[in-house]
Amino acid sequence: MMRLVKCTLKLGWDICESGKIAELYEMAFGEKFASAISEKSGRLTVLEKSFLPQFSYIALFEGKVVGVAGFKAKEGSLTGGLDFNGLVACLGFAKGLKAALLFSLFERKARKNELLMDGIAVDMKYRGLGIGSQLLDAIIDYAAQNKYDSVRLDVIDSNVRARKLYDAKGFIATKHEYYPYLKFLLGFSGSTTMHYNIKK
């Protein structure tokens, strides 16, 4: 039987935790971002300097950061610093331009009164303990408290564990996209858009 742990959830984080947050995101999404920034050290530098903490929740277990969940609100997003200027400042013009062009393929815009998920990452040592579920609940609660109508996310086809979590939480699949011709760039060939409607 799976052992669950109860975490302390916190909106945002202190600057001293930026390195750990970058490591968690790299652990979860590094392969996805590798086409844009090939070197792991470069990805970590960009993530550490580009994240906007106020648009995320972190999970703390025994005082240690073990998970992060980002979102895109009306005012900004966790990955809001991953723009052209930020990427060029970290990587130089040529590499920054390449990264900006490739990251634009991941860009999503929210509809009116819709909160976008900006990724959930849990430390590999703590996966399967219910931490992702707690972070997702925090995002849903944030959306409800801030008068959003729904939460939207995209899950890639190969991420079976995440898809099971979203199904269990009541997210409904509304669109599937298949693009095998972009797999060499994106690292995956399909994704599903899912929505969670906030109960008024």
pLDDT at 19 over 80: yes
Beta strands in 36-178 (DSSP E): 56-61, 64-72, 114-122, 150-156, 172-178
Query: Which amino acid is present at 169?
Result: K
Angle at 146 between CA 145 and CA 148, to 5 degrees: 105
Structure tokens at 75: 């005012």
Over range 110-114, report the average pLDDT: 86
Question: Over the stretch 124-160, which tens digit does the pLDDT of each residue have?
Answer: 999 889 999 999 999 999 999 999 999 999 887 777 8
Torsion-angle region of residue 155: left (phi > 0), alpha (psi -120 to 50) or beta? beta
pLDDT tens-place string over residues 54-89: 999 999 999 999 999 999 998 899 988 777 787 888
pLDDT of residue 1: 41
For 9-34, b/e burial (b = at least 16 CB within 10 A) is bbeebeeebbebbbbbbbebbbeebe
The Cα 185–Cα 102 span in angstroms is 8
Distance, first Cα to last Cα, the chain: 35
Cα distance between residue 158 and residue 189, in whole Å: 9
**Which of 108, 135, 152, 109 shows the shortest CA–CA distance to 24?**
135
Both tokens of 167, joined, read 């199904």
Q: How far is Cα 200 from Cα 193, in angstroms, rounded to an integer?
A: 22
What pTM does this model have?
0.85
